A and B are shown apart, each in its own frame.
Chain A
Amino acid sequence: AQKVTQAQTEISVVEKEDVTLDCVYETRDTTYYLFWYKQPPSGELVFLIRRNSFDEQNEISGRYSWNFQKSTSSFNFTITASQVVDSAVYFCALSEDRDDKIIFGKGTRLHILP
């Protein structure tokens, strides 16, 4: 069965610190997709990244980077030199190719303190 675990419910860091949000997933499918979304106070989810199960290359986009490790079923997200505008709830999600459903983790609420 699909499962996404974001063990960190809430994190607070001081601005300019680096922070890593953890995501561990479970799936029996060999083809699947992982996502990260950001939900600012306005409510809409903002797409950050999509990664398929065959692409284990880490990705960097500006201050954001993602570490995908199939061996540990993890897809962690790091924000470098955090800024107050990064404060939001971040969701990790999994979609299996076979089932075409999507399941979200419970989210991690990130507070960046000035």
Chain B
Amino acid sequence: KAGVTQTPRYLIKTRGQQVTLSCSPISGHRSVSWYQQTPGQGLQFLFEYFSETQRNKGNFPGRFSGRQFSNSRSEMNVSTLELGDSALYLCASSSAQGLNTEAFFGQGTRLTVV
């Protein structure tokens, strides 16, 4: 059974640009959640999608958005990139909705904003 796949693994972008990250969950999982990991702030929850609907959102500005497709694959978009957006972005999938369940994580996308 394939795990959670995140693409790309590494990305370098310039301030002001936008970026889209992709996450393919484990087959059969309908919940996808996104996290940002930085040395300063640690691991922070961004949002959760279940059955193509955003169910939950963390405390991030509107520049951070996402969506989920009918096949449960999810994309996360960050517009007008800032240097502080440099981070490891992790995606997790679960079989059930909610953040109280066991989650399976991908290896992340490391975004560097220059």
Contact = CB atoms under 8 A, between A and B. Distances in A.
Interface of A: 33, 37, 42-47, 50, 91, 93, 95, 97, 100-107
A44 B90 contact: yes
Interface string B28-57: 000000000000001111000000000110
Interface stretch (B11-19, B64-72, B75-83, B103-111): B103-111
A106 B42 contact: yes
Nearest to B108: A43
B42 A95 contact: no
Contacts of B8: none
B105 A46 contact: yes
B26 interface: no
Nearest to B58: A101
Nearest to A49: B102
B21 interface: no
Contacts of B42: 104-107
B86 to A, nearest CB: 15
Interface string B86-114: 00101010000011111111111010000
Nearest to B3: A44
